[in-house]
Amino acid sequence: MTVIVVMGVSGSGKTTIGTALADALDVEYAEADTFHPQANIDKMTAGHPLTDEDRAPWLEAIAGWIREHQATGGVVTSSALKRRYRDVLRSGGNVWFAHLHGDREILAERMRSRSGHFMPVSLLDSQLADLEPLDPDEPGAIFDIRETPGEITDAALTAFREHA
């Protein structure tokens, strides 16, 4: 089966869409933040962007979760900012990316309005600078975060089922 990776920068709605997709497909959901070592969370909380080296064990852990869910399918979130990060995720098995994309102002406003999250708005620009859009050979689709969560979820389900 295929695991859906809901990707995008912080504030794009990965958790909202990821949980909605998992519910609609009746599969397990995993939040990418739970795979971070505490050192990564501390670094981001302090306003420092993660390096590729910081992200490596996190990406490997998510790829392991993907590997464990190849028989049942699942939905997991991950910023998956760079092609090489997505390559690591794909090493876990068959994946399809739902890329949540939007402009900086919307993303920053969403980040400012949420509570209880370690990622400060000051790191948004570093994420946007690192973001590499899906290449044509990467399975997935891009969704505009200006749409409602229901519209995005419906569109993602349609695109995913057409891919399957």
3-state secondary structure 36-61: CCHHHHHHHHCCCCCCHHHHHHHHHH
Ranking 17-21, 41-45, 52-56, 61-65 by mean pLDDT, the lowest is 41-45
Please tell me what DSSP assigns to residue 31: -
In this predicted model, what pLDDT tens digit does every residue of 101-119 receive, in sequence order?
998 888 878 767 756 545 5
Q: In terms of pTM, does the model score above 0.85?
A: yes
Whole-number Å distance between alpha carbons of 79 and 56: 13
